[in-house]
Amino acid sequence: MTESFRRSGEYPQGQQQHSQSSYPGTPEAGGAFPPPPAYDPPQPVNAAPGSAMWPAPTPEGSPAPPAPPARRRRVRGPLGLLAAVAIAAAAVGGGTAYAFQELTGKESTSASAGTSVVPTSQKGTVSGVAEAVSPAIVEINATSNAGSSTGSGVVITSDGEIVTNNHVVSGASTVKVRTSDGKTYTAEVVGTDAKKDLALIKLRNASGLKTASLGDSDNVKVGDEVVAIGSPEGLTGTVTSGIVSALDRDVTVSTDEEQQQQGGGSDDRWPFEFGGQQFNGDTGSSKTTYKAIQTDASLNPGNSGGALIDMNGNIIGINSAMYSASSDSGSGSSGAGSVGLGFAIPVNTLKADLDSLRSGGTSGS
């Protein structure tokens, strides 16, 4: 067995202790000595008496020892909560709008589409529309020198502004209104527009009334489901349903007060012309034509001035005319009722005319 040794001074300073200890690669283990380290291990640096900084600076030209991995600090408290919420919102994305809709019961839609007033649980149902909108529909009884007439109206302000047809209140000396809860009010005619068959009346001493939501008739499509609410034959709050049968129908109505009031009572025959033919009585020589929404929702005398409503509960039209087959007999009876040909003034026509009506527009305007 041979022994390997070196004379004193052959090891670099600071390394002599290595010569006295065995490594796995020493001759005793059958190997060679490992190479000495590239640089001395870092030593504490005294920054002040009694204190030390660790590690010592790295000698120039020597590679820096790898830094220990940084520990991630958990954010606690409100900042952490906000960050978590932001991440969750980003992950959900477009679903947040749907969640808001479900929680509030209101549909997030564009302004042109209107806001849903029907509870989410009843959305798309006739009963849901009726429950939401019926409180804003009233019965109107107007008396004039030509007789009396029964029609309907739509409440648009909580203090009692109501829109209806001009032919319901034209020439009336007194106007009485009954709301859905059975209360009766006296109303004054604020303004009328015979050319569009629209009128605005105002209840006296009214407040806190349920109001209707005016929609956008430009969004209405043929085949859309609709609900009609009014007081046919004096039956307040009657609800019928159907679809939009056609759009932009040219309907001609009388602008003569006596012609509009000719039937009297709930037997008002709503005289109008369509397609060059006169229906429900003679419209006379003084007349006007407007574009109408056609519907097969059942309308009868007394529905005049009532609401045509979409399935979100928005008013899309003011019911104004209907065809009754019994008019051909000349008996003056409305017993045949609706045959599915009804017409409504688009709500956008009303909205465009509202300022004029409020300023006292007259029948000849």
Kindly list the catalytic residues.
Answer: 167, 197, 304
Name the nearest CA neighbour of 170 among 144, 195, 188.
Answer: 144
Q: Which residues of 81-112 are buried (b: 16+ CB within 10 A; e: fewer)?
A: eeeeeeeeeeeeeeeeeeeebeeeebbeeeee
Q: Which residues of 217-249 are buried (b: 16+ CB within 10 A; e: fewer)?
A: bebbeeeebbbbbbbbeeebbbbbbbebbebeb
The span from the CA of 172 to the CA of 257, in Å, is 9
Residue 333 is which amino acid?
S
CB neighbours of residue 323 within 10 Å: 19
The CA-to-CA distance between both ends of the chain, in Å, stands at 130
- Contact assessment for residue 335 and residue 284, using Cβ atoms and an 8 Å cutoff: no
- Contact assessment for residue 206 and residue 159, using Cβ atoms and an 8 Å cutoff: yes
The span from the CA of 10 to the CA of 96, in Å, is 77
Matching residue, tokens 């529309």: 129
- Tokens representing 64? 């820096």
DSSP 270: -
Range 273-277 contact pairs with CB under 8 angstroms and sequence separation of 24 or more: 274/249, 274/250, 274/323, 274/343
CB neighbours of residue 156 within 10 Å: 20
The span from the CA of 120 to the CA of 124, in Å, is 9
